[in-house]
């Protein structure tokens, strides 16, 4: 452990003081009476900070700010930059619907990002010169750029591009090339073509069907001339996530035969010389992790990567950090003794340590890993949820949030961490949030379960409030100490503002509590999770703050699935919503994107029919459900297709149970149209109000 991080706890006292300001607001009582509570229109006032990138000299941090444009009815993202001391802050690029992936050139002269120019159909690598001038497009490609990385000498960029499906220019007829106006030829070119599928993983949310033409390969871009040359060009497969060696002579990348993981759950890590015509060689084939990232050691001798679990535990992700010799050899797991997931990492310049993001029991904290011993030291003692990290020398930049502050950029150099941005304050300075409290309780079999309770703003002691159990998705994932106004955190605070006590439970299957806790529900869905959820409800009811006759439940994704499981197991809930959920799991086989998990965890239906029926009990025992339930989903959702909600809606209609189905056109698993996201919240609120009467 380098001594530059000595006294970390003292250093973070300053951070704790900053974060306490938000907590004080939630507890201020009469002093906060001038503040209003959240309402659905506040969705348009939120500003989401993401993707902080520290400049090579450590003086500036580039980052993205996403807002919801009411008039355009879409998300818009802008590129910002803030100085290390926080005294200078400037918007570099105006909001657009396609801006993403900021990167500094290693010499610090340029800042690049992906965006779609006004006259282009595809996003291009855009370049900003720090000496001044407007951004210009470095590329004019007709394929989709997935990722890109600068070479160490700032002379080249490696691109990972996927064929867009457009007809190659070289295949056009002479008449077309000369601008022929043959309308029949033009119409024929625009006709849809059949999707030819020959892969196990053939569909994916947002991307859609993965037919032929979804292969991705690596290309080298010469920054000075704009010339692009192919680096990998095999007939099939996907080459993604490239990383340059320190000397700029080699590139490590991920190779799979299909988009995503290979059918056996693995992905190859290959190395290739950074010149056209070179041949790649495979170094290692780890089990596929949640989000892969490759990084070279400072001496160029090793390559770091994240390693997941065996395929049968595909649904219970707990990534480890590993390293393999660049020349080939036996890999070494660096975080073997850390019973927590590594969410992100950066190898430090000293060559002896790495900075990690570690998911842990309601928080995601930055930690320091000693590469030799495997010891991990937590750098932040206070509950905080860090979402991204970037390092330069001894400096660390991160995007983080807490219960009472939105995601912002923070700086830390081992002396005094400080918050640099205040984008979330544009809303949070006007509203009064509910107080968040940790809870711990025993489940039916004695297992300790953790969760969180959010009280309504202006909570009055002695009064019994209606309560809503909001269930997080996953199941790997967790309710955490973040008011980043993402999918779950915003709903907790918004429903608290509507007058409810809101409960979040990190049931077994959740991440943040170790592998054994996560895999406890293996091939036994809807059992221990439901016991944990009901035990949480019992604990809050026993505390005396809620009315047991006015209980609601709801969730999205696996939260919707668990809603179906729970209301088929217990009749105490007076209202429910099930979003992007399913109850007849048997019907999901082959229709969603989780075929690997099904085959390895449950087994094919023709081998384990009884088990498939067991985990589908909410549908096959729908007559046990008496809770009025609102079902929701998007028509383009390939993650959990809307058919799951449609089936349960028809079942409850047949049974005469009050129900409603809301289908949102052209929406994926995670909605992107702001008006639909606001509408979803308002409909959920109206459904709960009808049956739980928060005005009492």
Distance CA 240, CA 644 (A): 33
Q: What pLDDT score does 9 carry?
A: 30
Q: What is the pLDDT of residues 116-132, one digit of tens each?
A: 998 888 999 999 998 88
Whether the link from the prior residue into 475 is cis, omega within 30° of 0, is: yes
Mean pLDDT of the chain: 88
Ramachandran region, residue 443 (left: φ > 0; alpha: ψ -120 to 50; beta: rest): beta
Q: What pLDDT score does 25 carry?
A: 44
CA 590 to chain centre: 24
For 258, the token pair is 């299909």
Q: Is the pLDDT of residue 33 over 80?
A: no
Rounded to two decimals, what is the model's pTM?
Answer: 0.89
Q: Is the pLDDT of residue 584 over 70?
A: yes
DSSP calls for 259-297: SSS-TTSB-EEEEEESSTT---EEEE-PBP-SS---EE-
Q: How confident is the model at residue 16 (pLDDT cuts 50, 70, 90)?
A: very low
Distance CA 16, CA 419 (A): 11
Q: What pLDDT score does 186 carry?
A: 58
Q: What is the rounded average pLDDT of the residues 279-302?
A: 92
Q: What is the rounded average pLDDT of the residues 337-362?
A: 94
Distance CA 243, CA 490 (A): 36
Q: Is the pLDDT of residue 175 over 80?
A: no
Distance CA 341, CA 320 (A): 7
Q: What is the pLDDT of residues 531-562, one digit of tens each?
A: 999 999 999 999 999 999 999 999 999 999 99
Contact between 643 and 613 under an 8 Å Cβ cutoff? The reply is no
Output the CA torsion 581→404→419→32 (10° steps): 150
Share of the chain above pLDDT 90, in %: 72
Measuring CA to CA, which residue among 362, 388, 401 is closest to residue 18? 401
Measuring CA to CA, which residue among 274, 348, 268 is closest to residue 305? 268
Where is average pLDDT lowest: 175-179, 424-428, 477-481?
175-179
Q: Is the pLDDT of residue 184 over 80?
A: no
Contact between 75 and 58 under an 8 Å Cβ cutoff? The reply is no
Q: Is the pLDDT of residue 636 over 50?
A: yes
Domains of the chain in start order, with CATH, are 431-692 (3.40.50.1820)
Could you give the C-alpha distances from 345 to 59, 265, 277, 315, in angstroms and in order?
A: 21, 22, 32, 22
Q: What is the rounded average pLDDT of the residues 602-627?
A: 97
Q: What is the rounded average pLDDT of the residues 100-121?
A: 94
For 139, the token pair is 């590329």
Q: Is the pLDDT of residue 491 over 50?
A: yes
Q: How confident is the model at residue 195 (pLDDT cuts 50, 70, 90)?
A: confident
The 8-class DSSP code of residue 537 comes to H
CA 467 to chain centre: 27
Q: Is the pLDDT of residue 54 over 60?
A: yes
Could you give the C-alpha distances from 540 to 438, 447, 478, in angstroms and in order?
A: 11, 17, 19
Q: How confident is the model at residue 490 (pLDDT cuts 50, 70, 90)?
A: confident
H-run or E-run covering 110:
strand 110-115
Q: What is the pLDDT of residues 198-217, one digit of tens each?
A: 888 888 888 888 876 668 99
Distance CA 647, CA 642 (A): 9
Q: What pLDDT score does 203 carry?
A: 86
The 8-class DSSP code of residue 256 comes to E
The 8-class DSSP code of residue 434 comes to P
Q: What pLDDT score does 29 carry?
A: 43
Q: What is the rounded average pLDDT of the residues 422-445?
A: 94
Q: Is the pLDDT of residue 189 over 70?
A: no
Three-class secondary structure of residue 616 per DSSP: coil
Q: What pLDDT score does 235 carry?
A: 67
Contact between 597 and 585 under an 8 Å Cβ cutoff? The reply is no
Q: What pLDDT score does 213 carry?
A: 60
Q: List Cβ neighbours of 259 (8 Å cut-off, separation of 6 or more).
A: 199, 201, 204, 207, 210, 214, 216, 238
Give the largest Cα separation in the chain, rounded. Answer: 82
Contact between 335 and 342 under an 8 Å Cβ cutoff? The reply is yes
Where is average pLDDT lowest: 28-32, 257-261, 363-367, 626-630?
28-32
Give 664's strand partners: 634
The 8-class DSSP code of residue 2 comes to -
Count of beta carbons in the 10 Å neighbourhood of residue 152? 17
Q: What is the rounded average pLDDT of the residues 418-425?
A: 93
Q: How confident is the model at residue 24 (pLDDT cuts 50, 70, 90)?
A: very low
């Amino acid at each position: 452990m380098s001594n530059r991080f000595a006294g970390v706890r003292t250093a973070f006292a300053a951070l704790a003081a900053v974060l306490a300001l938000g907590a004080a607001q939630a507890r201020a009582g009469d002093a906060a009476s001038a503040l209003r509570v959240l309402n659905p229109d506040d969705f348009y006032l939120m500003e989401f900070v993401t993707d902080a990138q520290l400049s090579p000299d450590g003086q500036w941090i580039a980052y993205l700010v996403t807002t919801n444009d009411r008039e355009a009815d879409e998300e818009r993202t802008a590129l910002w930059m803030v100085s290390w001391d926080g005294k200078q802050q400037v918007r570099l690029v105006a909001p657009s619907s396609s801006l993403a992936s900021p990167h500094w050139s290693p010499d610090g002269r340029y800042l690049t990002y992906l965006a779609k120019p006004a006259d282009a159909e595809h996003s291009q690598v855009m370049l900003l010169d720090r000496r001044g001038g407007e951004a210009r497009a470095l590329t004019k490609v007709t394929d989709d750029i997935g990722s890109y990385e600068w070479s160490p000498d700032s002379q080249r960029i490696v691109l990972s591009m996927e064929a867009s499906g457009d007809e190659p220019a070289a295949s056009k007829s002479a008449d077309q090339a000369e601008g022929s106006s043959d309308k029949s030829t033009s119409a024929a070119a625009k006709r849809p073509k059949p999707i030819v599928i020959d892969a196990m993983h053939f569909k994916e949310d947002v991307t859609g069907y993965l037919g032929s033409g979804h292969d991705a390969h690596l290309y080298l871009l010469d920054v000075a001339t704009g010339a692009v040359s192919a680096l990998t060009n095999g007939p099939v497969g996907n080459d993604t996530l490239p990383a340059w060696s320190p000397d700029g002579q080699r590139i490590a990348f991920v190779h799979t035969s299909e988009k995503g993981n290979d059918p056996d759950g693995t992905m190859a890590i290959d190395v290739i010389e950074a010149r056209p015509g070179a041949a790649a060689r495979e170094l290692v084939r780890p089990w596929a992790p949640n989000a892969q990232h490759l990084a070279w050691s400072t001496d160029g001798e090793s390559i770091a990567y994240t390693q997941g679990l065996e395929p049968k535990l595909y649904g219970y992700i707990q990534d480890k950090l590993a390293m393999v010799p660049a020349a080939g050899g036996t890999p070494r797991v660096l975080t073997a003794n850390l019973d927590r997931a590594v969410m992100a990492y950066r190898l430090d310049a000293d060559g002896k340590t790495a900075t990690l993001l570690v998911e842990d029991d309601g928080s995601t904290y930055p930690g320091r890993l000693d590469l030799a011993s495997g010891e991990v030291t937590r750098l932040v003692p206070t509950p905080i949820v860090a979402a991204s990290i970037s390092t330069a020398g001894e400096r660390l930049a991160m995007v983080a949030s807490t219960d009472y502050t939105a995601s912002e950029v923070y700086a830390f150099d081992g002396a005094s961490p400080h918050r640099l941005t205040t984008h979330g304050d544009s809303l949070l300075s006007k509203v009064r949030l509910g107080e968040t409290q940790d809870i711990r309780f025993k489940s039916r079999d004695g297992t300790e379960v953790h969760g969180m309770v959010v009280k309504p703003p202006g909570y009055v002691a002695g009064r019994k409030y209606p309560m809503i159990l909001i269930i997080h998705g996953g199941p790997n994932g967790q309710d955490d100490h973040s008011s980043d106004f993402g999918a779950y955190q915003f709903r907790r605070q918004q429903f608290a503002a509507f007058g409810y006590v809101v409960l979040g439970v990190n049931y077994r299957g959740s991440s943040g509590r170790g592998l054994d806790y996560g895999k406890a529900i293996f091939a036994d869905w809807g059992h221990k999770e439901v016991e944990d959820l009901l035990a949480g409800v019992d604990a809050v009811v026993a505390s005396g703050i809620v009315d047991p006759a006015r209980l609601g439940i709801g969730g999205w994704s696996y939260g919707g699935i668990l809603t179906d499981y729970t209301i088929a197991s217990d009749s105490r809930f007076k209202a429910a919503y099930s979003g992007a959920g399913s109850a007849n799991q048997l019907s999901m086989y082959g229709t969603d994107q989780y075929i690997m998990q099904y085959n390895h965890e449950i087994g094919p239906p023709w081998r384990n029919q009884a088990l498939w029926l067991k985990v589908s009990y909410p549908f096959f025992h729908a007559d046990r459900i008496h809770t009025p339930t609102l079902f929701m989903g998007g028509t383009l959702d390939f993650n959990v297709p809307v058919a799951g909600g449609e089936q349960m809606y028809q079942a409850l209609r047949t049974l005469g149970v009050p129900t409603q189905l809301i289908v949102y056109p052209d929406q994926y698993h995670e909605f992107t149209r702001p008006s639909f996201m606001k509408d979803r919240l308002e409909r959920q609120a109206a459904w709960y109000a009808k049956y739980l009467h928060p005005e009492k």
